[in-house]
Amino acid sequence: MDTTVRDQQGTLAQLRRALADLATNRRRVELQLNRLKQQADQLEATAAERVAAGDDEGARSALTRKVTMEKAIADLAERHATLQADEQKLTATADQVQTQIEDFRIRKDTLVARESAATAKTEMHRINRDQGAIAGDLDDVERHTREAEATAAAYDELADPTDAANWEKAFEAGSQPSLDEGDGRGPKSLPQ
């Protein structure tokens, strides 16, 4: 995208240089046109002076040069009009390229912003998904921990050496051991 903008800016710079050259040529033609008009006016004045002085041949010569000069003026005026038209077209083209560059920059900035927003939204969804997985993993770990704790407590009850000795004595004596019923362990706490 940046390359495209640089290329368009290069084209615009070339158009502006061509426009400056065209304006310079137009101005040069205008100066020549003004000089020729002044010379034509001088030749007309010279012809009038020569007629007044009775020099018909000198007047005719001045008028002939004036006619030649008027043809040159007409040619330069046509060239000037062509240069003005070309300058207007080139100005319109340069303005159009400038507008395209500005539109392209706006579109580029919009696309970059949209891409950033989409990336952020995707990242947010990924984080939420990962947090959900972590919460599920923590629930599993907590459940396994409770099960392990329950299993360990059961082994603790079964492996209590005082209970084992009481059970052994009771078995040898043929009676049940006398355990404190309040602790919730032993045969008396079991349903009959």
Pick from 21, 61, 32, 23: nearest CA to 44: 61
All residues at 6 or more sequence positions from 33 whose CB lies less than 8 Å from its CB, including other chains: 73, 76, 77, 80
Which whole number is the average pLDDT over 70-94? 94
Question: What span, in angstroms and rounded, lies between the C-alpha atoms of 91 and 97?
Answer: 10
Condensed to tens digits (0 to 9), the pLDDT of residues 30-39 reads 999 999 999 9
Joined together, the tokens standing for residue 177 give 């051991």
C-beta of residue 101 within 8 angstroms of C-beta of residue 9: yes
Rg (CA), the chain: 54
130: exposed, middle or buried (Cβ count in 10 Å: 0-12, 13-18, 19+): exposed
pLDDT for res 189 = 44
Domain spans, the chain: 2-136
Q: Name the pTM for this structure.
A: 0.55
Quote the tokens at residue 137: 């993993």
pLDDT class of 163 with cuts at 50, 70, 90: low
Report pLDDT for 170.
60
State the Cα–Cα distance between residues 50 and 64, nearest whole angstrom: 13
For the chain, the average pLDDT equals: 83
Task: For residue 7, give both structure tokens.
Answer: 């290329």
H helices of the chain, where?
Answer: 2-53, 56-158, 161-173
The CA distance from 185 to 145, in Å, is: 23
Helix axes 2-53, 56-158, angle to 10 degrees: 170
| CB-based contact 11:97 (threshold 8 Å) | yes
Closest to 85 (Cα-Cα) out of 96, 97, 77, 75: 77
Residue 82 tokens, joined? 């062509």
Asked which of 15-29, 95-109, 111-125, 174-188 is least confident by mean pLDDT, the reply is 174-188
